Amino acid sequence: MASKRSVVMLKPALKPTAPRCLRANCSSMSASRPLSTVRSTRPFPAGTILRTNIRYSSSSTNTENLGRTPLYDLHAKYGAKFVPFGGYNMPVQYSDLSIGESHHWTREKASLFDVGHMVQHEFSGPGAEAFLSQITPTSFKSLKPHSSTLSALLHRETGGIVDDTVIMRLTDDMFYVVTNAGCREKDLAYFTSELKSWKDSGKPEVKWDVLEGKGLIALQGPSSATILSGVLDSDSASKLDSLYFGQSMYGKIKLNNGSLSPSLLISRGGYTGEDGFEISIPASATTAVTSTLLDSAKETLRFAGLGARDTLRLEAGMCLYGHDLDDTTTPVEGALSWIIGKDRRVEGGFHGSSVILQQLKKKSEGGGVSRRRVGLIIEGAPAREGAEIVDESGEKIGRITSGCPSPTLKKNIAMGYIQDGMHKSGTEVQVVVRGKKRKATVTKLPFVPSGAVRRPKGVDGI
């Protein structure tokens, strides 16, 4: 059974314990090297080697100190190949599909990802909303119960991103927050410090619970809704049609043994650009729920690992923390200005707001930034993290932060930071790959259209 550990007064343990959800890896914990190499099963052109660029959380081969999610044994049963990631032993791929095949399977059918390595939190109490409003730029006035949003934890003075996060309002004074596994120690220290300052200032009480041991899985792909609806109990299934992207509900699944699962927190969204759901599960039921889903749709649902997750998220234009985002990058530089609520742009009051709000202003008003995150399509060999972006004269104007061959587009895609003014879609630049300049074109993100099921105008949903 998962434990709820109240840590308002006590500093939480910073080392992950077994057992222990896009999404990402802190740069301080990563070693940049290709995760694996597989031959694409589709013409890319023919003979292209598809390399994923997931970063290991440690270059050490010693796995004794790595955490395990509640699904570790089930992964092993399905032929998982494990790698260290974010302090955990995580599956990179499975014996039934290559990474390229798994990528296409997700785009065409549905895949199940274990994201239980990520850190799940609850913040509650009379001061919870005000506290989260201080450390993020989120507009909580527009965040209704069972609605969620991408956000960012911010440094006090600089507005740099401590970590990207998803925040969901469960009730008026309770919030569910998911942070990155690779940033676990940094984030827990950040929350501990910020809550201490909050309490020392005499502000309203905030209770913080780290939901240790809970499972978290991501069901992703165009068949996801059909698969999930097929295993939900009748009451839960009736609500699914009115659940839209960014919304959540509680529901129960009819398990293989005929019983009902405990109540599950089901949110519509994910880290692949496809329609899908993330499901938070009590530790005791994680394996049973996951097995039920897999057994219910053997022709359309497969396990998928970190390899496919990385290529899918890059096609969707989604950031990997520690690479596409870091402590020195603000939301404006990171092309995440949309996470800054309209009311927050007027009122400010969040960490780094003096810096961020100035960056949002026009250049004529002293605003703007010197660099911006962009997408790029590159000719020839794929560009990897660290490759320089140069102009026609050869002058460096930016740097690649993520890159891979796109299995869907059959083109080499990348994200990176480029000098302001060169960031507009269609701008032609060059990327230095293995000492050779390759033609590249700045491209709008995402590379692949989103399959998210969004709420129609005038419809409330759940």
pLDDT in tens, 135-152: 999 999 999 999 999 999
Whether residues 225 and 98 fall in one domain: yes
Whether residues 102 and 227 fall in one domain: yes
Whether residues 307 and 397 fall in one domain: no
Q: Give the model confidence (pLDDT) of 191-217 as tens digits.
A: 999 999 999 999 999 999 999 999 999
CATH value at residue 392: 2.40.30.110
Whether residues 98 and 225 fall in one domain: yes
Residue 79 domain flag: yes
Whether residues 92 and 227 fall in one domain: yes
> For the chain, what is the domain count?
2
Residue 106 domain flag: yes
Q: Could you say which of 315, 334, 362 is where a domain stops?
A: 315
Whether residues 377 and 304 fall in one domain: no
Whether residues 273 and 407 fall in one domain: no
Q: Could you say which of 315, 338, 359 is where a domain stops?
A: 315
Residue 163 has pLDDT above 50, yes or no: yes
pLDDT class of 402 with cuts at 50, 70, 90: very high
Closest among 158, 24, 107, 40 to 274, alpha carbons compared: 107
| Biggest CA-to-CA distance, the chain | 68
Instruction: Work out the mean pLDDT of the chain and round it to a whole number.
Output: 89
Q: Could you say which of 315, 348, 382 is where a domain stops?
A: 315
Residue 197 domain flag: no
Whether residues 225 and 306 fall in one domain: yes
Residue 49 pLDDT:
37
- Using the CB atoms, write b or e for 361-380: b if 16+ within 10 Å: eeeeeeebbebbbbbbbbee
Residue 62 pLDDT:
58
Whether residues 80 and 219 fall in one domain: yes
The whole-number average pLDDT for the span 431-452 is 97
Whether residues 287 and 404 fall in one domain: no
The whole-number average pLDDT for the span 443-447 is 98
Residue 362 domain flag: no
Q: Give the model confidence (pLDDT) of 2-18 as tens digits.
A: 444 444 433 333 333 33
Residue 190 domain flag: no
Residue 63 pLDDT:
65
Residue 387 domain flag: yes
Whether residues 220 and 311 fall in one domain: yes
- Within 8 A by CB and 6+ apart from 443, the residues are 374, 375, 376, 377, 413, 425
Residue 457 pLDDT:
84
User: Of 48-62, 101-115, 179-193, 211-225, where does mean pLDDT reach its minimum?
Assistant: 48-62
- Within 8 A by CB and 6+ apart from 265, the residues are 176, 248, 250, 279, 280
| Residue 387 belongs to domain spanning | 372-451
Residue 126 domain flag: no
pLDDT class of 242 with cuts at 50, 70, 90: very high
Rounded percentage of the chain residues whose pLDDT exceeds 70:
86
CATH value at residue 248: 3.30.1360.120
Whether residues 414 and 273 fall in one domain: no
The whole-number average pLDDT for the span 280-290 is 97
Residue 169 domain flag: no
Peptide bond into 126 cis (omega under 30): no
278 labeled part of a ligand binding site: yes
Residue 248 pLDDT:
98
User: Of 64-73, 147-156, 348-357, 410-419, where does mean pLDDT reach its minimum?
Assistant: 64-73
